[in-house]
Structure 1
């Protein structure tokens, strides 16, 4: 037996068609509605989160906040998202994936709007902290919803393709920044950025009309209700599940710690150490985002082609190499612009395997709790990295601070991923 399915023998499905879009051609209308809803949710989620890193320079200037304290707001958002993800995943196991997804989207949209109304940094910090609860819960509910709705032979590509929505959201945030900071004074432009961050609330109307609960999840909850055996919040830390939870949490910590160390501070790195204006840095960020988007799609294909674990091992080593090149060599701005593509590619592409991987590690009764905890525990610890990078940059260059914490994070990612089994193609069962 396995920690992934303690009451079921592991069953895997053959992956015959390995082309990237094979999963979409085979989808039913219901599956396609779920796919587009989750892709849009993840895009808007990414847009909402990336707004703050894009306006952090303006916040520092307007409110005279030092870099370490400014980074703390990003850290607090991610820390609270760790709690929100765990609770959101548990709620998804108790009341359903779709209901939880609707609630969490409304939650972080509302508090993004409150960020726009903040009158000082303390108010903004509190609003970002509470927003993080919904931000984490949305990923937990959406990832498990997609993982269960898609057939095992296509799960890696489908879930990974949804993950690419993050790059789309990031791009929308950068586009909004370029437009708003061109036509409005900085004192008001940053507030309108957060107003745009409230747009995900509109997605709830689509969810309510078109997206249905996965049959496997509904059947499992019905069995639990009949037997009076509801999942417990701490159950993922017991028995053979415990080892899986620890290692999966380290995988999530490494991959997200590296990602946030890089992406949170690159906009600031470009405008300070590279002396670019907010508007002129848009081209550099665009290259990074395009590389990220391509990385998500390639990662989605590789997750089913070579397996989840091999994807993680290759991309973690690639990310270490490119981060060191980007931050440590005396490159011209032109070369740095080109290097943004592989930086985005390797620093993002591995996420395409994370949702499917965590879905396949846990039995259905604990899938939301386990997946929500591990991924968002990684967010919580990874949340320290924006703060630590900002704090270290006081005594060394921002480039050095980014490199140090990114390399450490990706090394943890590599080691933990190597210690877990391959899960490609696992068939999920009700109950468990």
Structure 2
């Protein structure tokens, strides 16, 4: 078995001691899958103005913000539903097979998106694309957690999470290159989705280089269906496997862990939408107020710096979670998110200062706030339900958050200004200061079998 408990004598070894090519292949496959997801998600934001111009009637362009919100929201809805369904399937058919299906089908439908000629066909393809790519994350998290040694696992999970940030940067780079030449004129946006279809070839790598999780295989073979270590061995194994989504809510301890982790996930997701959706617009408005000649550039800079801060947090999060412990790391994350949101929207009064604040804010509200989901849930549940639990915690919040892009305009109107909207919604981070202390500390412990 490749993921083993760290012995007393091994504690002084470097965190990467014992990792071999098999471990790095698993990380590479999981990381690349998340890179493609990040590319796909951010590419949609970048080319949305060109898509709307190509597909909406002149009379509809007056409501282009509403149509943009619908397209993004439908993608997120598909992502949430697909992520939940894919996580469940990964606990039944295996991590490797589910990863193959996910990568292939979202690459296929991303490519087909390039040929959409009307808005509602585009939205349908976005929903299917979101559905397909939704399951890649929880599958990759479960596979890495079950194959990496305990000492290295949190660091590997943080590295995996960084893939999304690198994917968004890749999307920005691809569009930067294409926008310089515009090889297809106003239809150049279609090439962004053609590039997004390339991950289909990545399936060949997964088939040849990645093995199935031994922990999952052994759990299924031994019919270990309990959701947590607290319930394991409390009764005879059931001959018929219980439905995994039901199982994580059936046991009291599992139900408690699931609901508390979901509250933290909801805190992250709602808070992140309040920041990421409003930050570029806020940067543009501040640039206009000080008379910048190209205010739109500042919005893009803010978005890229925000993502850059998140990437740094992704790479460091595993080390921070191990150094601080899971509960203290979560408290640090949400305290930082709350404080830096106030700094960004209330206490920064220059456009240059906002760029610095955007980077630091991205470190907390996107980087740290999402990294724990790749590290902590896998440590709370057994192999037979691990992907289901991780996918529910991660994706159930999306089934609420998909409405935020659609309501973004009215949210600002309701609160009166962007800073007031961001701070009012950002108060949800207060939950993150309380909830972790009702959850178990898992630092240094082996995965539940």
Q: In the alignment, does 2:396 pair up with 1:373?
A: no
- Equivalence for 2:268: 255
Change (3 A) 1:216 1:17: same
- Equivalence for 2:38: 46
How far the C-alpha of 1:26 sits from its partner, in A, is: 2.7
- Equivalence for 1:187: 186
Tell me the matched-pair count. Answer: 417
- Equivalence for 2:93: 95
Which stretch shifts more, 101-110 or 183-192? Answer: 183-192
- Equivalence for 1:8: none
- Equivalence for 1:344: 362
- For the aligned residue pairs, the C-alpha RMSD in angstroms reads 2.7
Contact 1:294 1:345 (8 Å CA) reproduced = yes
- Equivalence for 2:215: 216
Structure showing greater relative contact order (alpha-carbon pairs closer than 8 Å, 6 or more residues apart): 1
Secondary structure of 2:222 counterpart: helix
For 1:412 and 1:194, locate their aligned partners in 2 and report how far apart those are by CA, in whole Å: 38
Secondary structure of 2:434 counterpart: helix
The alignment's TM-score, normalised by the length of structure 2, stands at 0.84
The alignment's TM-score, normalised by the length of structure 1, stands at 0.88
Contact 2:279 2:302 (8 Å CA) reproduced = no
Q: Which ranges in structure 1 are unaligned for 5 or more consecutive residues?
A: 1-10
Which stretch shifts more, 175-184 or 35-44? Answer: 175-184
Query: Match for 2:77 among 76, 79, 91?
Result: 79
Contact 1:252 1:379 (8 Å CA) reproduced = no
Q: In the alignment, does 2:255 pair up with 1:235?
A: no
**Residues 271-305 of structure 1: CA distance to partner in whole angstroms, max 9, x if unpaired?**
46645465564443332222111111221211111
**Residues 357-407 of structure 1: CA distance to partner in whole angstroms, max 9, x if unpaired?**
1111112211111111111112222333333333323554445434433x1
- Equivalence for 1:311: 329
Change (3 A) 1:181 1:271: farther
Q: In the alignment, does 2:433 pair up with 1:417?
A: no
Which stretch shifts more, 196-205 or 91-100? Answer: 196-205
Q: Map of 1:1-400 to 2, 5 A cutoff? A: 22-59=14-51, 63=56, 64=61, 65-184=63-182, 187-224=186-223, 228-232=239-243, 233-240=245-252, 241-271=254-284, 274-275=287-288, 276=294, 281-329=299-347, 331-347=349-365, 348-394=367-413, 396-400=416-420
Q: Which ranges in structure 2 are unaligned for 5 or more consecutive residues?
A: 225-236, 289-293
How far the C-alpha of 1:200 sits from its partner, in A, is: 2.3
Contact 1:15 1:425 (8 Å CA) reproduced = no
For 1:23 and 1:399, locate their aligned partners in 2 and report how far apart those are by CA, in whole Å: 42
State which structure, 1 or 2, has the greater radius of gyration over its C-alpha atoms.
2
Secondary structure of 1:66 counterpart: helix
Which stretch shifts more, 123-132 or 277-286? Answer: 277-286
